[in-house]
Structure 1
Amino acid sequence: MNILSIFLFAISSSSDNLIVGLSYGAKKVRINFINNFMISFISGIGTFLAMLFGRTLLQLIPLKYSNIIGSGILILLGIFLLINWLKKNIDSKKSTEEVNEDASGFKHYENTLRNPEIIDTNDSKTIDFKEAIILGIVLCLNNIGLGIGASISGLNIFITSISSLIFSLVFIPIGYYIGEKVISDKLSRYSEIISICIILILGMYDLFV
Structure 2
Amino acid sequence: MPPLSLLFLALAVSIDSFGAGFTYGLRKVKIPISGCFILALCSGAVLYFSALLGLAANRVLPENASQMIGGFSFVLLGVWALWQILRERKASPQEKKDEQRERILLKFEVKTLGLVIHILKLPTAADLDRSGTIRGMEAVLLGIALSVDAFGAGFGAAMLGLPPLGLACVTGFMSALFVYLGIRAGKGIAKAGWMGRLTFLPGIILILYGLWRLSRPFRHPAN
TM-score, normalised to structure 2's length?
0.83
Q: In the alignment, what sits opposite 2:215?
A: 208
Instruction: Quote the offset at 1:131 in angstroms.
Output: 1.0
Which of 62-71 and 86-95 deviates more?
86-95
TM-score, normalised to structure 1's length?
0.88
Instruction: Quote the offset at 1:95 in angstroms.
Output: 6.2
Does the 8 Å contact 2:71/2:214 carry over to 1? yes
CA distance in 2: counterparts of 1:56 and 1:111, whole angstroms: 29
Instruction: Quote the offset at 1:128 in angstroms.
Output: 2.4
Root-mean-square deviation over aligned CA pairs: 2.2
Does the 8 Å contact 2:80/2:203 carry over to 1? no
Q: In the alignment, what sits opposite 1:28?
A: 28
Q: In the alignment, what sits opposite 2:75?
A: 75
Q: Percent identity?
A: 25
Q: In the alignment, what sits opposite 1:140?
A: 147
Q: In the alignment, what sits opposite 1:169?
A: 176
Does the 8 Å contact 1:5/1:206 carry over to 2? no
Does the 8 Å contact 1:82/1:196 carry over to 2? yes
Kindly provide the CA deviation profile for residues 169-197 of structure 1, in whole angstroms up to 9, marking residues without a partner as x: 21111111111112466455334311111
User: Which secondary structure does the structure 2 equivalent of 1:28 belong to?
Assistant: coil
CA distance in 2: counterparts of 1:3 and 1:81, whole angstroms: 25
Which of 188-197 and 21-30 deviates more?
188-197
Q: What count of residue pairs does the alignment treat as equivalent?
A: 205
User: Which secondary structure does the structure 2 equivalent of 1:127 belong to?
Assistant: coil
CA distance in 2: counterparts of 1:64 and 1:122, whole angstroms: 50
Amino acid at match of 1:141: V
Residue 123, structure 1, aligned to residue 130, structure 2: yes
- 1:16-165 to structure 2, matched below 5 A, reads 16-94=16-94, 97-103=97-103, 104=106, 108=118, 111-113=121-123, 116=124, 118-165=125-172
CA distance in 1: counterparts of 2:187 and 2:173, whole angstroms: 22
User: Which secondary structure does the structure 2 equivalent of 1:19 belong to?
Assistant: helix
Amino acid at match of 2:13: S
CA distance in 2: counterparts of 1:158 and 1:205, whole angstroms: 23
CA distance in 2: counterparts of 1:62 and 1:152, whole angstroms: 11
Q: In the alignment, what sits opposite 1:4?
A: 4
CA distance in 2: counterparts of 1:200 and 1:109, whole angstroms: 27
